[in-house]
Amino acid sequence: MNFHQIESVCEIVKQRFNMSEAALALNRSQPALSRQIAQLEKDLGVRVFSRTRNKIVGLTPEGGEVYTIGQRIAREVEQLRHVVSGAAEGNPELRIATTHTHARYSLPKVIKRFNEQSPKVLLNLRQGGDPLQCCQLVADGEADVGITTDIERLPRESVAIPAFKLSRCVLAPRTHPVTREKLTLQKIAQYPIIAYSRPPGGRWVFDSAFAEAGLRPRIAMSAIDADVSKTYIALGLGIAVLASIAYDPEQDRNLIALNADHLFRPGLIVLVFRRGAYVSRHTYAFLSLFAPHIPPVLIRRWVDGQETDRAQLIRTVPTAKFL
């Protein structure tokens, strides 16, 4: 058994059991691909693929196990290639999966400091459209770490370490009526609201607060990130519930942020890793600047599946303040 055989299994599944497409993607001939699969099945003593008239149509139960383990092997090999190629070229790379909001508000100062300390490291921000996409980039081995807002369901291959609490605010034009009243969910629900798109984004905290109060908010429109929301707030189309880090008093002088911590549970910024993954020294160096209260030993323990009490860690992490 060799890696090329494992790689073949993964690619055939990826190409929906189309042998021609898998062979093309692997730059191999179809007969060569068929021989690799036949040899693998002989070596293992089981059928990996189910067939109809000699055509591969799916995975056998044993093949499903082979594929699951094969995916993990393929990701680790790709990670090894990534690390070795960067070291060989003298130009190591750090790939961070994040959303627009965190790229815009959480990371700039840290990135500047990291670049000053490690100028030879190529920093590659892999922007996901929502937190789930960021987590999936990490799970798929396309990013070394994810820095994003916590979500209800992580990809199975991922682990999320709480790093910061996220306080909430209601953002509105300075002359909006909501600024002249005691802030309650009932008052907020009276006005048009610009909300984040529904899960897998951070909308679930917003939805659950109103649902628990038996209220139905007036959603005027949905937006994909805080900057889009603020554009339409400034036009008078509604108010929004956002993470407080997205409010910049200098740039958002026409808006006002009303503390809403008493109405919405805090969010979390999490550090996302693939379970069992190699964590490079450049990743640790970056995170020592971003979240110095999260020591490398804790990161390694969580990545290796030795997670400590998550609730206790959440209680001890600080509230995010990056501006």
This prediction's pTM: 0.75
Categorise residue 166: left if φ over 0, alpha if ψ from -120 to 50, beta otherwise: beta
Q: What is the pLDDT, as a whole number, of residue 155?
A: 85
Indicate the range of 72-76, 254-258, 271-275 predicted with least confidence: 72-76
Phi (first) and psi of residue 123, to 5 degrees:
-95, 120
Asked if pLDDT for residue 159 goes beyond 80, the answer is: yes
DSSP strand E in 260-318: where? 267-274
Return d(Cα 98, Cα 286) in angstroms, integer: 14
Domains and CATH numbers, the chain: 3-86 (1.10.10.10), 92-163+268-316 (3.40.190.10), 168-259 (3.40.190.10)
Map residue 269 onto helix, strand or coil: strand
Rounded to the nearest integer, the mean pLDDT of the chain is 89
Q: What is the pLDDT, as a whole number, of residue 229?
A: 93
Residue range 289-311: mean pLDDT, rounded? 91
Please state, in angstroms and as integers, the Cα–Cα distance from residue 231 to each residue in 188, 198, 203, 220, following that order: 19, 19, 19, 14
Q: What is the pLDDT, as a whole number, of residue 224?
A: 80
Tens-digit pLDDT profile for residues 168-180: 999 999 999 999 9
Return d(Cα 40, Cα 201) in angstroms, integer: 41
Return d(Cα 124, Cα 110) in angstroms, integer: 14
